[in-house]
Structure 1
Amino acid sequence: MSDLTIAPHEHGVIRLFTLNMRPQEAKFLREPGAADQVLGVDGLDLKHIDIFPVSDLEELGLFGYLNEGCGVSEDQLDRDKLDRIEGWVMVVRSAAFGGRATKLTPDPRLRLIGLYTEEATNWTGGVIKTQSAKPFSAPLPPTEDDRPRRFGSSLIVILILIVVGGALWLIL
């Protein structure tokens, strides 16, 4: 697979492009449909595309942005290469393609710097050995014979109502 081919249902991939254009043109790419044109694909989700000047990152830099902000592991990143990048960049996440397979045909003013993968969450865990984790270990619901009798409570409520009713009859 080439770096510009998007597989169907691709997930967790980040593409970093440098933008060789005037700042006004780069800012315009934030408008709906503009990123679609320069990447040569329709229907991109702008919520998953970041376009900004590297200078906005200040001390964090592209290395920190990708590592700390996007979850790219350090072993995928070349700090020296990323520190040399100046001007505007475009960061395109897999989610921008909406799970569709496509091939990018970027404008010549865009240059792909790298393709990075986000660290995935490890959802595996060890075996739980406690008694409560075993199947069918929860207490069974009460049966007819185990339910408390409500007869005594009902009798007390009826007696209270008779007394209150009698007192009200005497007062009125």
Structure 2
Amino acid sequence: MSGDALIVPEGEHGRIRVFALDMRPEQAEFLREPGAADQVLGLAGLDPAQIDVIRIADLEGLGLTGYLTEGCGLTEEQILPDRALLEGLEGYVLVLRSRAFQGAAAVLAPDPEVRLIASYDEPDTDWRAEPVRSASAEPYSAPRSAPRAARARARRIGGGLFAVVMILIALLIWAVAV
């Protein structure tokens, strides 16, 4: 896939792209600098917080597949078809999240040293839940105080704050005088 243009549609979200970096370690390390990854991906204005440049040897015990499942939240089923390829990679990889494009459409034209290995969709959050059934969850279930009681409470709070401020001013004047 190296050299091919990759089209990112407007509003894309929840997609993770994994690129192998076929370059010297110094060059790969430099891609961690803001704007450097933009150059090798052929697109300016990417969010550097959404780009990870990873030395695979640093993932000892976890591995790249573990990083993608444990760190990025991908499922084992998504990784399974590419597992052998991902585990066979050496050197550095670049992990690019859709949030790097900030919702804009884009065309990536990666350098020949940057090969797209795989793309994955992050699993959506399941927002379903059982409805809360209790008296306290009902609208307007909190006890209501009478307007006169609420005003009296507000006066007490205001009076207390006024007293504290006046004491602080008195202490300040006393400290300056002494």
Tell me if both proteins adopt one fold, taking TM over 0.5 as the criterion. Answer: yes
Q: Which has the higher helix share?
A: 2
Shift of 1:52: 2.0
Structure 1 residue 137 displacement after superposition? 2.3
2:34 paired residue number: 32
Q: Helix, strand or coil for the counterpart of 1:77?
A: helix
1:138 aligned residue: 142
TM-superposed CA distance for 1:10, in Å, is 2.1
Based on CA coordinates, which of the two structures has the bigger radius of gyration? 1
Q: 1:47-62 residue pairs with structure 2 within 5 A?
A: 47-62=49-64
* Deviates further, 133-142 or 45-54: 133-142
Structure 2 equivalent of residue 65 of structure 1: 67
**Pairs aligned (count):** 146
1:101 Cα deviation from its structure 2 partner: 1.0
Name stretches of at least 5 consecutive residues in structure 2 with no aligned partner.
153-178
Cα-to-partner distance string for 1:134-163 (whole Å, 9 max, x where unaligned) = 223222222549x99xxxxxxxxxxxxxxx
Q: What CA distance in whole angstroms lies between the structure 1 residues aligned with 2:55 and 2:12?
A: 27
TM-score (norm 1): 0.76
Name the TM-score, length of structure 2 as normaliser.
Answer: 0.74
Q: Which runs of 5+ in 1 are unaligned?
A: 149-172
Please provide the CA RMSD for this pair. 2.2
Over the matched positions of the two proteins, sequence identity in percent amounts to 52
* 1:87 aligned to which of 88, 91, 110: 91
Partner Cα separation in structure 1 for residue 75 and residue 146 of structure 2: 53
Work out the CA distance in 2 between the residues paired with 1:68 and 1:117: 15
Amino acid at match of 1:39: L
